[in-house]
Amino acid sequence: MSMMHRTFKAAVIAPAMGLVMFTLAHAQMADPLPSWNAGDTKQAILDFVATATDDNDPKFVPLSARIVVFDNDGTLWTEHPMYTQLAFALDRLKALAPDHPEWKTTEPFKSALDGNMKTLAQSGEKGIAQLIMATHAGMSTEAFETIVADWFKTAKHPRFDRPYTELAYQPMLELLDYMRANDFKTYIVSGGGIEFMRVITEEVYGIPSEQVVGSAIKTKFEIVDGKPQLTRLPELAFDDDKGGKPVGIISAIGKQPVAAFGNSDGDREMLEWTAAGTAATLMMLVHHDDATREYAYGPGGGLPDTHFGTFSQSLLDEANADDWTVISMKNDWAEIFPPATR
């Protein structure tokens, strides 16, 4: 063997071999879901991805059908003591209150401004809707985006004292990355307001605005001072909850998902529809059973009457009967939130 050949081999072949070996070793050793404790729940995810991506498996999912949907509140980030969007609405209400003296004597505004959450809760969905319309409409989509972005820069969660954008669940962030690494297209499908979420979904979840499905108020195109503008109107256009979730998915995506993740009764129909698929499917529900590190509510939890993320016994029964996987935050998750970054 000539000197030149050895040089060639050293320069080209050996590093190439090394790369191959490193890649194999890396694939075998690296855990794509390090914040998930070993067990049936984690294994269900790994098994689903293995089956869905194996083109020799009869349950193989072709690339164009790799649609995965995630509820947001309570599934991807914390929803207690109240939905993040409601916290925004209450702060916004206070900011606007000086221009609305009538709110001091009119419900649900009075309770909201007084911080009387019990009376506010009693005003029900209608009351919440009134708060949303008063704080989310009457401006352009651009102006609304700016208001929301500014709020996220300073608002903090009352218990964890961290920006809401840091309260996404670390195991779910890993799951989103893992799905995308296997060519699944990840969507948020939430009862929350679509334009509210879109301000932070790219930064927090790596999900672009076009992969967010949510509830929406009506929007009107108009020319204002010679400039085109989309103006937000105080009227509901679409309620992306319960049976609305499959409808929102078919409207925005046009395909049945192969995996669906939720945490409450509002996600039931989305999981039922996903479960009806004929290729590999995965249906999972996050169960909030960790009062120490986050909150405990739902079946067996400490807050059975919560208005935020109701997980009824009948949903649990359906999950058990249909082999959906219930994620125990307490047992399945080694970490809840990412390390603090600011």
Cβ 278 to its own copies shortest distance, Å: 12
Give the closest residue to 261 by CA, choosing from 274, 250, 252, 251: 274
Using CB under 8 A as the binding rule, whether residue 250 contacts its own copies is answered as yes
Q: Is 212 in the site for its own copies (CB under 8 A)?
A: yes
DSSP letter string, 204-255: HHS--GGGEEEEEEEEEEEEETTEEEEEEEEEEEE--STTHHHHHHHHHT-S
Options 98-106, 112-120, 243-251, 284-292: segment touching its own copies (CB under 8 A)? 243-251
Residue 93's nearest CA partner among 118, 143, 130, 123 is: 130
Which one of residues 71, 174, 269, 332 is an interface residue with its own copies (CB under 8 A)? 269
Decide whether 120 or 176 has the Cβ nearer to its own copies. 176
Residue 120 DSSP code? H
From 240, 142, 234, 157, select the one nearest 195 (Cα to Cα). 142
Q: Which span (75-83, 160-168, 218-226, 300-308) binds its own copies, by CB under 8 A?
A: 218-226
Residue-wise burial string across 193-209, b where 16 or more C-beta atoms lie within 10 A, e elsewhere: bbbbbbbbbeebbebee
Contact between 58 and its own copies by CB under 8 A: the answer reads: no
Closest CA to 135 of 93, 177, 99, 172: 93
Query: Total residues contacting its own copies (rule CB under 8 A)?
Result: 43
Amino acid at 184: F
Write phi, then psi, for 285 (nearest 5 degrees): -125, 125
Which is nearer to its own copies, 27 or 223 (by Cβ)? 223
**Of residues 28 and 278, the one with the C-beta less far from its own copies:** 278
CB of 227 to its own copies, least distance (A): 6
User: Whole-number minimum distance, CB 67 to its own copies, in Å?
Assistant: 8
Residue 225's contacts (CB-CB under 8 Å, 6 or more residues apart) are none
Q: Between 75 and 274, whose beta carbon lies closer to its own copies?
A: 274
For its own copies, the binding residues in 65-124 under the rule CB under 8 A are: 67
Kindly state whether residue 17 participates in binding its own copies, applying the rule CB under 8 A: no
Q: Which of 92, 136, 198, 287 binds its own copies (CB under 8 A)?
A: 198
**Binds its own copies (CB under 8 A): choice among 94, 159, 220, 293:** 220
The residue (of 227 and 342) whose beta carbon lies closer to its own copies is 227
Q: Which of 337, 7, 1 is nearest to 173 (CA)?
A: 337
Q: Residue 69 phi/psi, 5° resolution?
A: -115, 140
> Minimum CB separation from its own copies for residue 320, in Å?
18
Residues 117 and 55: their CA atoms lie apart, in Å, by: 53
**Residue 172 in contact with residue 333, Cβ under 8 Å?**
no
Q: Does residue 8 bind its own copies (CB under 8 A)?
A: yes
Q: Taking CB under 8 A as the rule, does residue 202 contact its own copies?
A: yes
Which residues bind to its own copies, rule: CB under 8 A? 2, 4-5, 8, 12, 64, 67, 141, 185, 194-195, 198, 202, 208-210, 212, 216, 219-223, 227-228, 230, 237, 243-247, 250-255, 269, 272-273, 275-276
